Amino acid sequence: MSTKPRVSLVTCSDIPDLDDEDAPLIGALADRGIDARPVVWDDASVNWAEAGLVVLRSPRDYADRREEFVGWARSVPWLLNPAELVNWNTDKHYLEDLRARGVPVLATQWFEPESRLTKQRIHTRFPASGEFVIKPAVGGGGQDSGRYTANKADSRRLAILHAHRLLKDGRAVMVQRYQASVDTLGERSLVFIDGEFVYAVHKAAVLHGPSKGPQEEHLERIDRVTASDAELAAAERVREVVREIMVERMGAATTLLYSRVDLVNDDDGRPTVMEVALTDPSLHFSYYPGALETFAVAIAQRVTAGR
C-alpha cells in the first residue's frame, strides 16, 4: 500500500476519469509526492475514511438527487469545500440569502413544487413582455434551462410546458428576465483559490432558445478577461457574505479551497451575481498558465497541514 498522502478528486460516473481540465491535477499532485486519484462520489465500493483529502471537482449529476448528494458530502470525513457549504450552495435559493444581505443578484421569481401551479397560473406569473429565462433551482451546466419571449405565443407555450415539467418532477423553478448584457458583454467568472483572487474568464451567452430537455448540453465559449475594480469589489462582498453564512451554519468561517463568482451587468452596468459556484465549478485552469499549479499547491498545503 502507498504511504504517500492521499487526495481523492471527486467526479461522477459519466466522467469517471475527471474532465480534461482537472485530469492533469493527478500529475501535478504526484510531482508533490501526493497519491491523487479520481473517485466517483456514489461509488459504493469507496471507503471514504481512507480517501484522504476529498476535493470536489466534477460531481455534476446531483440535480435530481441533491439530498443524497448532500448526505454523502456530510458523511465524508475530510471534504473541501465543506459539506455544510455544499448544502447551501447546491440550491440556488441561496441567491435570496445574498440579496437579503445587500448583494446585488438577478431579480428572480421562484415557483415551488408544493404550490402546485396550474399551467394557467404559470402563464399569469410569467413576465408580460421581453425575454425571460427558466431554469431549475438545483442544477448546473445550463441544463434544463431555456430562453423565451414573453409576448410570442409559441415561445410562451413552450415556457409553460418547461416550467410545468420541472415542477411536476418536484423541482423548484427560477424565472428571471433575460439579462441583455449577457449577449453583448457576456458573463465574467472570478476564480479564487485558497482565498485569493487568481484570474477571471469571460463566458459568452449560453441560452439561445427554449430548453431541449434535460440531456441538452450547452456550448461554453470561454476567454481570458481582466476583472474590473467593480467586479472585484462585488466578488469580495459575495465572499464576505459567504463567510457570514459559514459562521452561521458551521460555527466558524474557513478559507475556501476554491470559489467562483459569476457576474453579469445589470441594466445600469453594475456587476450583479448570476451564480456563486462553491461545489463543482469548472475552474478553467487551461486559460491561465500556472493556474492548475496554483490549485495543486493549495491542495498540497492542506495535505501537509493535515487539515
CB of 262 to Mg ion, least distance (A): 5
CB of 50 to ligand ATP, least distance (A): 31
Query: What string marks each residue from 229 to 268 as x (binds Mg ion by CB under 5 A) or -?
Result: ---------------------------------x------
Residue 275 contacts Mg ion per CB under 5 A: yes
CB of 261 to Mg ion, least distance (A): 10
Residue 222 contacts ligand ATP per CB under 6 A: no
Residue 187's binding partner out of ligand ATP, Mg ion, none, with CB under 5 to 8 Å set by partner kind: ligand ATP
Give the helix/strand (H/E) hosting 183. helix 181-184
User: Of 261-300, which residues contact ligand ATP (CB under 6 A)?
Assistant: 262, 274-275
Strand 222-225, strand 173-177: pairing: unpaired
Given 24, 104, 113, 142, the residue binding ligand ATP (CB under 6 A) = 142
Residue 63 vs 117, nearer CB to ligand ATP:
63
45: Cβ contacts below 8 Å, ≥ 6 apart: none
CB of 239 to ligand ATP, least distance (A): 18
Strands (DSSP E) contained in the chain are: 6-11, 35-40, 53-58, 79-80, 109-111, 131-136, 146-149, 173-177, 187-193, 196-203, 222-225, 258-265, 271-277
- C-alpha distances (whole Å) from 120 to each of 155, 157, 211 are 15, 10, 20
Query: What string marks each residue from 199 to 218 as x (binds ligand ATP by CB under 6 A) or -?
Result: ----x-xxx-----------
Smallest Cα–Cα separation from 60: which of 109, 112, 98, 22?
Answer: 22
